[in-house]
């Protein structure tokens, strides 16, 4: 797929808020400007402060500066005209009542109290004209207002983002550490905070103190207060934290910075936040790990603490029970138990798939390849390594090189491919293309390598060597809507087969983007039309598109209601331009640029393998199972017949074994059930005489007698129906 800035290369700085430019409005309190998408700056050496000095001098200094700036901004706010405004309340996007308020005075919290009793005590975040907004932040004019509780994605993510600040406060107070960044996790399960502790190594033994600090903060109901500061003010406020100074110094002089406070914690943050810390009534540290500042091995070594929080203890207890249950089905444990795959220290991040695991891997690819044949895709094979000139053209050399494996050949630099799209551009480019050929749908299962940090490797879900069901569609602008709709239908079909539910989000133009506004608007409109034609519910995710084009994010939920992002669908106008791709229009004298659609259904085959293994809890459906059937003879007298049955099933194209041991039949059947064979076929002298088998299903004590032809028809039907 196209350039995707990983956690190791350029991390989205979710704890920073940097409006695009200074203005009279942005100099006022409570004004949230658009956030800077990424933070990258040169290296520096961090000095770890002594605990007592940090707590007794640094934090009070920050608080004093915060209060001074806040007082000045509140005074300025009072002088503004508080004209009447109309607030239209929304619920799930549907228009509701119209309330009256005053500009620079009325807050979403005020409106919540007017709408329903108790809503002000449960609403965590507001959305004002499509922009997320603190509940205590005054409204600035006529607007549409929607409120969100914890049961919504926006409410949940806000609680967890705010909980990261509570975690940061506890860490800073307990250890005098230098805080770095603290966002929600990318999988949407809690939050973390990175910090520099010097020589201290955090572990589970520290969690009780951290949780006690978080509980203290929640009990105090500390409000989340917000100010906007200049670059100079921010540098003064965070002069004792070199990590924060690094983030600030990368900004141009006309940028402003958003700062939040809760209790003793003053932190750079783009927000928004929950009203106060008391909304976090259940808090738990989950684990600690090491990390690198800026995700670079060359930078400072940090400690990362992961946490989870809820608005009540009951939900936390339920989540912790879920974690215990999920541990039983960790794909790494199941993979070892079922002899599917393993990893060796001589090749970290690159997994060995054993014969049984290879069966599943191949079945997944065959499933996609069968759909390719039906849906008009053409499979291609492209090289694994390219001269770095290719990656300079594509932009990966400038933005992604540290994630690539590079090496020299005859004094020229080459790199293993981390994605297929530049190679597909070369394939499109190698001869003159006509509009009559479009759309061209190139599919590629080529091996990809990404130089992930060793600390980031995690089973099959974060690897260095992998394959994707990667495809790129080259089409005209007029074909975009139909092609996108077709991809969505492909994804819907595949996820129904796997038993997934999913959500759709349209991620629109970010603050920093390439290309012209007109092209972006047209692209977003095309995606909206395609989504409407597709007919499934979707939401707009403002400003979260890739810098090269808008995208549709597809989040799947498995049997344990965990969320994953596997499929992807992105529009790209930049690579066709970088590679100067052209096709001849109807007027052959004219040349036009194609639009490029990046799409994957499975995503990484390795990652999908892991997700499915846990989704099915190790009980593979028949069509995907590496152990579809086993023949168990009752005694030696029926062993030859068992081998005949095995041979016939094998020749029909199914995975079948035979247990030719001298153990009792009850033990054979029990072990076959534990090994997750879908069908256990018991044969004795009577079955041998009649040409039948006694059929037991994996999870059932019942059994039936069938002849081989009928059994094979059943296998055929289950395979065809993906059961």
Write out the catalytic residue numbers: 421, 450, 468, 470, 472, 551, 598
Q: What is the CA radius of gyration of the chain?
A: 29
Which of 462, 479, 474, 424 shows the shortest CA–CA distance to 446? 424
Kindly provide the b/e burial profile for residues 9-33, where b requires at least 16 CB atoms within 10 angstroms of the residue's own CB: bbbbbbbbbbbeebeeebebbbbbb
Burial class (CB within 10 angstroms; exposed 0-12, middle 13-18, buried 19+) of 79: exposed
Residue 385 CB contacts under 8 Å (≥ 6 apart), including other chains: 414, 415, 416, 417
DSSP codes, 517-536: HHHHHHHHHHHHHHHHHHTS
Q: How far apart are CA 562 and CA 502, in angstroms?
A: 11
Q: How far apart are CA 175 and CA 52, in angstroms?
A: 9
Token look-up 């480019």 returns 429
Q: How far is CA 697 from CA 495, 679, 705, in A?
A: 25, 5, 12
The answer to whether 600 touches 464, Cβ cutoff 8 Å, is no
DSSP codes, 411-460: TEEEEE-S-SHHHHHHHHHTS--BGGG-SEEEEE--EEE----GGG-BTT
Q: Helix, strand or coil for residue 331?
A: helix
Angle between helices 207-219 and 153-175 (to 10 degrees): 110
Q: How far apart are CA 568 and CA 487, in angstroms?
A: 10
Which two three-digit tokens encode residue 310? 């809820």
β 265-268/256-262 pair status: antiparallel
Q: How far is CA 305 from CA 158, 173, 206, in A?
A: 18, 15, 10
Q: How far apart are CA 244 and CA 13, in angstroms?
A: 11
What order do you get walking across the sheet with 131-133 strand by strand? 94-102, 84-91, 143-148, 125-128, 131-133
Q: Helix, strand or coil for residue 209?
A: helix
The answer to whether 103 touches 87, Cβ cutoff 8 Å, is no
Q: How far is CA 575 from CA 387, 415, 455, 475, 540, in A?
A: 17, 18, 32, 13, 25
Which two three-digit tokens encode residue 297? 């091995």
Which of 636, 624, 622, 623 shows the shortest CA–CA distance to 683? 636
- DSSP character for 594? P
Q: How far apart are CA 75 and CA 573, in angstroms?
A: 47
State the DSSP H helix or E strand holding residue 407, giving kind and residue range, or none if neither.
strand 406-409
Q: How far apart are CA 570 and CA 471, in angstroms?
A: 11
Which two three-digit tokens encode residue 671? 């072990």
């Amino acid at each position: 797929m196209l350039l995707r800035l990983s956690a190791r290369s350029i991390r989205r700085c979710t704890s920073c808020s940097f409006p695009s430019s200074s203005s009279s409005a942005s100099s006022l309190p409570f004004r949230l400007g658009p956030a800077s998408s990424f933070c990258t700056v040169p290296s520096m050496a961090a000095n770890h402060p002594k605990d007592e000095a940090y707590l007794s001098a640094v934090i009070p200094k920050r608080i004093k500066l915060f209060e001074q700036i806040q007082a000045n901004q509140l005074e300025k706010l009072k002088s503004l005209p508080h004209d009447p405004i109309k607030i239209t309340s929304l619920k799930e996007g549907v228009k509701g009542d119209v309330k009256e308020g005053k500009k620079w005075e009325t807050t979403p919290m005020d409106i919540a109290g007017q709408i329903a009793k108790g809503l002000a005590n449960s609403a965590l975040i507001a959305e004002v004209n499509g922009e997320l907004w603190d509940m205590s932040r005054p409204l600035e004019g006529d607007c549409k207002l929607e409120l969100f509780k914890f049961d919504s994605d926006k409410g949940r993510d806000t609680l967890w983002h705010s909980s990261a600040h509570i975690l940061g406060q506890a860490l800073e107070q307990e250890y005098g550490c230098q805080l770095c960044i603290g966002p929600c996790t990318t999988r949407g399960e809690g939050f973390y905070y990175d910090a520099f502790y010097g020589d201290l190594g955090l572990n589970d033994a520290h969690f009780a103190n951290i949780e006690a600090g978080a509980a203290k903060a929640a009990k105090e109901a500390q409000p989340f207060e917000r100010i906007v500061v200049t670059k100079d003010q921010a540098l003064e406020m965070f002069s004792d934290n070199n990590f924060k100074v690094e983030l600030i110094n990368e900004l141009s002089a006309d940028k402003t910075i958003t700062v939040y406070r809760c209790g003793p914690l003053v932190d750079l943050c783009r927000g928004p936040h929950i009203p106060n810390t008391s909304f976090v009534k259940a808090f738990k540290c989950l684990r600690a790990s090491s990390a690198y500042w800026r995700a670079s091995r060359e930078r400072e070594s940090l400690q990362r603490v992961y946490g989870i929080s809820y608005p009540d203890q009951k939900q936390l207890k339920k989540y912790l029970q879920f974690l215990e249950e999920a541990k039983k089905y960790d794909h790494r444990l199941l993979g070892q138990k079922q002899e599917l795959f393993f990893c060796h220290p001589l090749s970290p991040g690159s997994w060995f798939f054993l014969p049984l695991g290879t069966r599943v891997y191949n079945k997944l690819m065959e499933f996609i390849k069968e759909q390719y044949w039906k849906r008009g895709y053409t499979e291609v094979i492209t090289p694994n390594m390219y001269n770095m000139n290719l990656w300079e053209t594509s932009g990966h050399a400038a933005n992604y090189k540290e994630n690539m494996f590079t090496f020299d050949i005859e004094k020229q630099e080459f790199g293993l491919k981390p994605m297929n799209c530049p190679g597909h551009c070369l394939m499109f480019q190698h001869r003159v293309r006509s509009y009559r050929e479009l759309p061209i749908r190139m599919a590629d299962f080529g091996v990809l390598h990404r130089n992930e940090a060793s600390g980031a490797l995690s089973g099959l879900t974060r690897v260095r060597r992998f394959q994707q069901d990667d495809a790129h569609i080259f089409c005209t602008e007029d074909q975009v809507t139909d092609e996108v709709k077709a991809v969505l239908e492909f994804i819907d079909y595949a996820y129904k087969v796997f038993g997934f539910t999913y959500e759709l989000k349209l991620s629109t133009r970010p603050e920093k983007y390439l290309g012209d506004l007109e092209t972006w608007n047209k692209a977003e409109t095309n995606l909206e039309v395609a989504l409407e034609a597709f007919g499934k519910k979707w939401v707009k995710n403002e400003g979260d598109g890739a810098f090269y084009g808008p995208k549709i994010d597809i989040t799947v939920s498995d049997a344990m209601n965990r969320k994953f992002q596997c499929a992807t669908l992105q529009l790209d106008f930049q690579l066709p331009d970088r590679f100067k791709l052209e096709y001849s229009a109807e007027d052959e004298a004219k040349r036009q640029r194609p639009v490029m659609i990046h799409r994957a259904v499975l995503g990484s085959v390795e990652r999908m393998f892991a997700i499915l293994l846990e989704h099915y809890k190790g009980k593979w459906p028949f069509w995907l199972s590496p152990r579809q059937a086993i023949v168990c003879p009752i005694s030696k007298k029926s062993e030859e017949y068992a081998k005949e049955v095995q041979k016939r099933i094998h020749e029909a194209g199914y995975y079948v074994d035979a247990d030719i041991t001298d153990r009792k039949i009850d033990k054979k059947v029990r072990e076959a059930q534990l090994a997750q064979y879908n069908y256990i076929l018991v044969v004795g002298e009577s079955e041998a005489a009649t040409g039948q088998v006694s059929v037991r299903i994996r999870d059932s004590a019942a059994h039936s007698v069938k002849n081989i032809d009928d059994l094979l028809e059943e296998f055929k039907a289950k395979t065809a129906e993906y059961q």
